[in-house]
Structure 1
Amino acid sequence: MYYPSLLRVLSVVDSTGLEKVEEFSKLDFNILIAQWGEKLINFGIKVLIALIVFYVGKLVANIFAKAVVKMMKKRDVDPAVVSFLHSLMNISILVILILISVSILGVQSVSFAALLASAGVAIGMGLSGQLQNLAGGIIILLSKPFRIGDHIQAGTVEGTVDAVKIFHTVVRTFSNQLVYVPNGKLTSNEVVNFECEEYLRNSWTIGIEYDEDFEKVKAVLMELLEEDNRILKDPKPYIVLSELADSSVNVMVRAYCKPGDLWPVYWDFNKRVYEEFNKRGIDFPFPQLTVHNS
């Protein structure tokens, strides 16, 4: 009883298929290929123009950015501000050039904005840390906990501040390694600046044997301190007997110097103490254990 309706459906399908075949047979493939070729050439020209605009724009922008940096340096702008603004200009120019290139390719700015908005949640989650670093860079510029060239210690990183960028601060370690520390980390953790004060204190603990004359040792150490012109006379250095340890009498020496002389003074004094004590017959202690027979 369903056969007549099924036949009507098949007849409709057969007639539609025949119409499709007839329409396809009427197509002129030469015209179609010519149209596709023309569209492909037009798109290729747009790609070429977009690339030229991007690279020429980047070249001009770099020249402009260098001119701005040079002008700021002539006006004695804080080097940290100069490096931060230079980094900010580079990123802003790159974003603008990408938008211009995309619009040349025919992508509408509204469509592009809608695409960014649709991916906004994922992008926001991915950039949340970078936004914190950007805010940290601004805080560093405003509060100025350190400047370019300062000797700082941030966690396990110690060295000289080389640049303050938009997302990170470049620290050059004393082994000449560049460490990129996120700005957010610098503003949320402790940072030691060794350059913010006029002078710093060096401290040594020197062990001598129990049978040595403390006043003689003190006079020798004071003589070594006075011979070093890098050690400040004010505040005055001082020497005290700090501890009666198990195998030694520990003498503590404290002296002040300028921040740039901190480590050279420390290492030189160690060497001079070792040489002078050996020359004057002052013995250094070594761990020892006395055993008594009961």
Structure 2
Amino acid sequence: MDEVIVQLKALALTEALPLLLKVIGALFLWFIGRTIIAGFRKVLDLGLQRRQLDPTLIRYVGSLFTGTLTLMLIVGILGLMGVETTSFAALIAAAGIAIGAAWSGLLANFAAGVFLLVLRPFRVGEEIEAGGVVGIVQEIGLFVTTLDTSDNVRIAVGNNQMFSDNIINYSHHPHRKMTVKVPLMYGVDVRVLQQALLERLPAVKGVQSTPEPQVEIAEFTVQGPILAVCIFCKPTEFNDTQANVGDAIAEVLLAVGYTVPMPALLAAPPPPLAKAG
């Protein structure tokens, strides 16, 4: 029994104790390394913020920087513990190839996200239409772009789908044009109605004075002419201004004693003529 205890003590001194010391050293290096990486991350974020870069780009670069240094720290700790890092690196490379083949779509989204951040076709907070979705950009992530629609629904669209589609940026310019068509019937004094609309539109909330509102005849139909009411407003106030313009047009039409013709009445056949005698 004494010999067994002596052997166990010898084994502990020769094998267990060095292993324990390596584990303690690895944990110490891990916490020290993570602290240093966090410090570098703060310095990097401050440097990018001083350059007034987009917050999304700052988070993107910071995450990539932290992930790369963390992976290097893990490889270094494994090397200090006696693990063969060359085989570990080969394993990572083989796993990367396998994952790349299986997740080709994710890699395409990742590459598209990089191009979106570099080319900057839109920014966070702007209203866009891309990938079949219309909404305000909330975040440009590594793989998806998050948008909030007008009905308060959050949608995540793959970066590759957005980058491969037409991107319509409604918020790029300081003002946006709105066109509202008003159908009329023949016999209406179009000039009087145009003048009444031009006098009313500048007072509508959200309508910009420059460029000035315009009221033109867009086309002629069988029932009568169609007016095109064109105004300019801020992109962020488009929906509210559209509602205000519609109310103003209805007020002007009622003021001049005109109501918009109903399609059912226009399509109804004329009454039959009474026969004489």
User: TM-score higher than 0.5 here?
Assistant: yes
Quickly say closer, same or farther: Cα 1:44–1:236, change in 2 above 3 A: same
Aligned to 1:83: 59
Aligned to 1:264: 240
Aligned to 2:116: 140
Query: Which of 204, 211, 228 is 1:228 aligned to?
Result: 204
Contact 1:160 1:173 in 2 (8 A): yes
Task: Provide, for residues 200-237 of structure 1, a one-character-per-residue CA deviation record: whole Å limited to 9, x for no partner.
Answer: 21011123344543223222221222223643444333
**Partner SS, residue 147 of structure 1:** coil
- Please give the residue correspondences for 1:205-224 in structure 2 after superposition, counting only pairs within 5 Å: 205-224=181-200
- Please give the residue correspondences for 1:26-175 in structure 2 after superposition, counting only pairs within 5 Å: 54=30, 57-58=33-34, 61-100=37-76, 102-103=78-79, 106-175=82-151
Paired residue total: 268
Task: Provide, for residues 61-115 of structure 1, a one-character-per-residue CA deviation record: whole Å limited to 9, x for no partner.
Answer: 3454234213321332344532331232233244334434554665321121222
Q: 2-side partners of 1:125 and 1:101: how far apart?
A: 29
Q: 1-side partners of 2:16 and 2:146: how far apart?
A: 46
**Partner SS, residue 264 of structure 1:** helix
Q: 1-side partners of 2:158 and 2:83: how far apart?
A: 35
What letter corresponds to residue 95 of structure 1 in structure 2? Answer: L
Q: 2-side partners of 1:247 and 1:55: how far apart?
A: 79
Q: Report the aligned-residue RMSD.
A: 3.8
What letter corresponds to residue 269 of structure 2 in structure 1? Answer: T
Deviates more, 1:40-49 or 1:233-242: 40-49
Unaligned ranges ≥5, structure 1? 1-27
Between structure 1 and structure 2, the one with the greater Rg is 1
What fraction of aligned residue pairs are identical, expressed as a percent?
A: 26
Q: 2-side partners of 1:234 and 1:253: how far apart?
A: 15
Contact 2:100 2:107 in 1 (8 A): no
**Partner SS, residue 146 of structure 1:** coil
Q: TM-score, normalised by structure 2?
A: 0.74
What letter corresponds to residue 57 of structure 2 in structure 1? Answer: V
Aligned to 1:237: 213
Q: 1-side partners of 2:129 and 2:136: how far apart?
A: 9
Q: 1-side partners of 2:21 and 2:185: how far apart?
A: 87
